[in-house]
Amino acid sequence: MRSPMSGHRTFRPSIADRLTKAAMTASGSLPGPVIQLAGGAPRRIDGQVLDPHFQAGVRVMSLLSEGEYEDLPLEQARQTVERSAYTVSGNRIDLAVVKDLVLPLAGSDQPGDETARADLPARLYSPVHGDEPLPMLVFFHGGGWVLGSIDSHDATCRYIARMGGLKVLSVDYRLAPEFLFPTAAEDALASFRYVRDNAESLGVDPTRIAVGGDSAGGNLAAVVCQQTRDAGEKTPDFQLLFVPATNMSARTRSFELFGEGFFLTGRNMDFYETTYLRSDADRLDPRASPLLAEDFSDLPPAHVATGGFDPLRDEGEAYARKMADAGVKVSLRRHSTMVHPFVNAVGATPLARAALSEAVGALRMGLAY
């Protein structure tokens, strides 16, 4: 087992953090007009109006900010992400099983790059006790392949497991700059293969295994689907892609519109990509930019959810259209009033919970409940 986990240290909230979380959780139940007083005049861009809860949240986060991630020491940036996620996580959802474990991948005979040969920490969530086979979502957290952890996305995974009535395995894949591209992609691929090949021992229905994630995690989930298809293997049965990063080779109009002032910035993305990639040549590799793949046919059914006020909006939607044009069953949903990290805000706004519930519904239908 590696130590430390992906460079991540356990976050311990201070009293101030707990008070901020309580305030953010309470604000999630307030009506929009009241929240608007804290957030200011409505932001209107590209025919969209930013939700008051997210507008107020962005404002509060900017007031509490220690600086942009790219300007902070790496460990401080990682702790800042953990703190931000904690403050919007809401009341903890209790499940029958929440268990930390290690995926024993280092000794497995997995094909592919040697970077996949590492034991990976993970967290298993289940709404029930016992060995009854349930569907599973193998989840990859966001954070630009540099930040984030299984802790930062704990609330999201708990919500999906409870609402979906399925197991979730959140994978603590290795992060840059300690481990450069394609390590994260290889870790994600090896993790899915492990679940697929050991479904019975994990209490998982082998015919209903999905992959998913947000942002960088959505990127990794898409790559897993492409890589298993290209290898002629059994692919995931569904892909759940939240605000996915799909193209590091170009910038879209949504970067121009929302690259400043809506949580995720253009400078953040530049930092993530240059930290993760070995060189500019990697930008053209479909394992980094799945939108550049030559073939989009025969991929698993997908639900793609984007945020209206997100720099990654257009590339996520372009990926959904590419799959649909190739005959893949895809549901595409733009949440036009929300910013990039809405899946993490389940405790701070009812719209985030509604968006996540909608995606879980698509997941359940895709796995043929």
The residues annotated with a catalytic role in the active site are 215, 310, 340
Q: Take residue 308 and report the two structure tokens written for it.
A: 């209206």
Please, how many CA atoms are within 13 Å of residue 265, restricted to the half-sphere of its CB?
Answer: 13
SS3 8: strand
What is the rounded distance in angstroms from the CA atom of residue 310 to the CA atom of residue 306? 8
**Numbers of helices and strands, H then E, in the chain:** 12, 10
Residues 120/169, Cβ–Cβ less than 8 Å:
no
What is the rounded distance in angstroms from the CA atom of residue 58 to the CA atom of residue 283? 30
| Element of type H or E holding 24 | helix 15-27
Residues 213/156, Cβ–Cβ less than 8 Å:
no
In one-letter notation, the amino acid at residue 86 is Y
What is the rounded distance in angstroms from the CA atom of residue 336 to the CA atom of residue 105? 40
Strands of the chain (E only): list them: 44-45, 48-49, 97-103, 120-126, 134-140, 167-171, 204-214, 238-242, 302-309, 330-339
